[in-house]
Structure 1
Amino acid sequence: MTRTVFVASLALALTLSSAARAQVDLQPVDPDATLVEELVVTARLPGPAWWRVMDGDTTVYVLGTPSIAPKRQAWNTVIFDRRLQGATQVILPFNGLKVRLAGAPGAAFSYLRLKSSKPFEEGLEGAARSRFVAARTKVGQPADHYKIRHPLAAGLTLINDYRDKTGLTTTDPTKLIAYLARRSKVRVVQRAYDLGPLLGQIAKTPQSAGQTCLDEAIQDVEEGPGGVLAASRAWADGDVMGALAAERTYERCLAATPGALAFDGRVKGDMVADITAALKTPGHAIAVVQLRPLLSQGGVLDRLRSAGFVVKTPGED
């Protein structure tokens, strides 16, 4: 595994997590664990569920999306196409990851501390070793692919390999939405973040928390993609509760990563700021937000309501 691939793997997994500060003696706090129940509503219109944020003569239509889905997930785009017409902008979840190891010595040092001259499984014994070997065999990777010290890094690498093997992605349907918006010459707003400083904290994650991540990753491999596929179908049908069923996989254990709580808050705050800015322009715009961060207490819609904006659910006229 090359340095670039390894770092990108860790960066991608970190960006998808809704995480909190490390706690050694307690289970990490998940900021998206509790949903705002009145916002979890089945869609009235065909296709995926939409929420609306309104301020006077301006509306931002918010499409909630799954955190992971099969590649090229099919969904009814009729409502999206209609709302794209005349939209002032389309606000997307952040992408375009920037990891500048040269400017973040902690990240480079973390990488060196996570590397190993031996396969990860050689440090395991008995049932734990057998279970890990079975999982990495199932995703089609040799032992040398996991020359890693920390169980957190092993878990992140394993789950990324599993997703590649089973055709799951974290970029759909956002990638399609970006294409459709640009094709229609609608302005796209999408932030990027430098994850170097956050990567520099990975090696400081407690081993026990890293083991929890690895266990979650192995469990995902053992169970297969059936749950994700069912949740994706529910999302496409506007069944919000069904879509949320597969929203919390191994990512929640990344709550143990130091600095992740601040990063999570920053991402949500920036999305709220972008939607707020869009509400200053008369007309309408579109925003795309993953379901859990959108609907949780302290999430995007909760913050917008607290700021005084009107929020309508998918079940309201």
Structure 2
Amino acid sequence: MGMTRRGIAAAGVALAMACTVAAPAAAEPAMWAVRDADSTIYLFGTAHAVRRDTGWKTKKIDAAMKASRQLWLEISDDLATSQATMAVILKKYGLDQTKPLSQKLTEAQRVRLAAVLKPYGMPMAQLEPMRPWLAAVTLGTLPFVKAGLDPVAGADRTLRIVAVAEKDQIHGFETPEQQIRFLADFSEAEQLAFLDSAMQEAEKGPAELTTMATAWENGDVPTLARIVTTDMKQESPLLYDKLLVARNIDWAGRIKTMLAGKGTIFVAVGVGHLVGPDSVQAQLAKSGINAVRL
């Protein structure tokens, strides 16, 4: 989902990555592969929202998709199903009918939130029924619009369309409800800290998102890791541990199981999960499985 401070939906450096990283021959999003004698698993870092004029789907990516008989995404639902499912889940976990958001904030937070919302033209009343985590997620999406990034054109959605056309099996590492509950199960104090973080990002505006979009298009792993993982680890360690590290460990275990089978599989998850010192590749390396940058 890319539900990080910036990816949310969400979501996600040449630090101490425990994988082989070589500079790409041409500008293209980053992709890796893990292999054994009878299996190949491609690891592709997606952007959940992209600029519509981005020609990111290269011949290398096309060839990897054609060779694969399975596509694994964060969630497997198509766009229409996902939106309908999310609407039900958000009503269940994201709204508070008893206490408006403003009553959970300090006076300083209320003033700051109103100031953050003003340039985006969003009234505070729109956030009032939301629990703090959902208000944070909503706030986090606003700079994406100003940066010209479109979730409908997201890389994972595009790859799903390709997989359907190729009659590939489509699987999800998580369900929509699981993804929502990563945030909904935070304590109220943790949710308010998340909202503070989201306000900080919204105050920065779209500039950093534009930098991140360019880094993704170019496969610039160090820049992606700095923006997505290094900053998050320093500013929001709780989010870092729960939304990145714990999930990376889980997904790496499942990829290890896939590798024990046979065939070719394409894994496409938010690029934030494939960069930085706690990436999926770093977790695989702990089991002696090395990912090679293609």
TM-score by length of 2: 0.73
Q: 1:288 aligns with which of 265, 268, 275?
A: 268
Report Cα offsets for 1:148-184 as digits up to 9, x if no partner. Answer: 5865443233223443565435561111111112112
Larger radius of gyration: 1
Cα pair 1:110 1:199 within 8 Å, conserved: no
Structure-2 separation of matches of 1:184 and 1:222 = 43
Cα pair 1:83 1:286 within 8 Å, conserved: yes
Q: 2:197 aligns with which of 200, 205, 216?
A: 216
Q: Does 1:184 align with 2:166?
A: yes
Cα pair 2:34 2:289 within 8 Å, conserved: yes
Structure-1 separation of matches of 2:8 and 2:148 = 20
Shift of 1:57: 3.3
Counterpart amino acid of residue 155 in structure 2: P
Structure-1 separation of matches of 2:242 and 2:51 = 28
What secondary structure, in the 3-state scheme, does the structure 2 residue paired with 1:246 have? Answer: helix
Report Cα offsets for 1:231-258 as digits up to 9, x if no partner. Answer: 222221222212334325997667547x
Cα pair 2:74 2:174 within 8 Å, conserved: no
Q: Does 1:174 align with 2:163?
A: no
Aligned to 1:308: 288
Q: 1:158 aligns with which of 118, 121, 139?
A: 139
Cα pair 2:27 2:219 within 8 Å, conserved: yes
What secondary structure, in the 3-state scheme, does the structure 1 residue paired with 2:200 have? Answer: helix
Aligned to 2:96: 112
Counterpart amino acid of residue 158 in structure 1: L
Aligned to 1:5: none
Shift of 1:218: 2.0
Q: How do residues 174-253 of structure 1 correspond to structure 2 at under 5 angstroms? A: 174-193=156-175, 194-195=177-178, 198=182, 201-202=185-186, 204-206=187-189, 209-248=190-229
Give the length in aligned residue pairs: 277
Tell me: CA distance 1:42–1:244, structure 2 relative to 1, closer, same or farther (3 Å): farther
Structure-1 separation of matches of 2:51 and 2:229 = 16
Structure-2 separation of matches of 1:58 and 1:308 = 15
Tell me: CA distance 1:167–1:76, structure 2 relative to 1, closer, same or farther (3 Å): same
Aligned to 1:28: none
Shift of 1:79: 0.9
Tell me: CA distance 1:262–1:91, structure 2 relative to 1, closer, same or farther (3 Å): closer
Shift of 1:64: 1.9
Counterpart amino acid of residue 99 in structure 2: S
Tell me: CA distance 1:162–1:310, structure 2 relative to 1, closer, same or farther (3 Å): closer
Gaps of 5+ in 2: none
Q: Does 1:138 align with 2:114?
A: no
Q: How do residues 24-103 of structure 1 correspond to structure 2 at under 5 angstroms? A: 36=17, 39-66=20-47, 69-70=50-51, 73-94=54-75, 96=77
Tell me: CA distance 1:216–1:67, structure 2 relative to 1, closer, same or farther (3 Å): farther
Cα pair 1:158 1:217 within 8 Å, conserved: yes
How much is the aligned-residue C-alpha RMSD, in angstroms?
Answer: 4.1
Q: Mean alpha-carbon deviation: is it higher for 69-78 or for 135-144?
A: 69-78
Q: Mean alpha-carbon deviation: is it higher for 169-178 or for 147-156?
A: 147-156
Tell me: CA distance 1:182–1:152, structure 2 relative to 1, closer, same or farther (3 Å): closer
Tell me: CA distance 1:67–1:40, structure 2 relative to 1, closer, same or farther (3 Å): farther
Cα pair 1:53 1:60 within 8 Å, conserved: yes
What secondary structure, in the 3-state scheme, does the structure 1 residue paired with 2:242 have? Answer: helix
Counterpart amino acid of residue 284 in structure 2: L
Q: How do residues 6-17 of structure 1 correspond to structure 2 at under 5 angstroms? A: 16=10
Shift of 1:95: 5.1
Structure-2 separation of matches of 1:129 and 1:89 = 47
What secondary structure, in the 3-state scheme, does the structure 2 residue paired with 1:168 have? Answer: coil
Counterpart amino acid of residue 220 in structure 1: E
What secondary structure, in the 3-state scheme, does the structure 1 residue paired with 2:258 have? Answer: helix
Identical aligned residues as a percent: 19
Shift of 1:143: 2.2
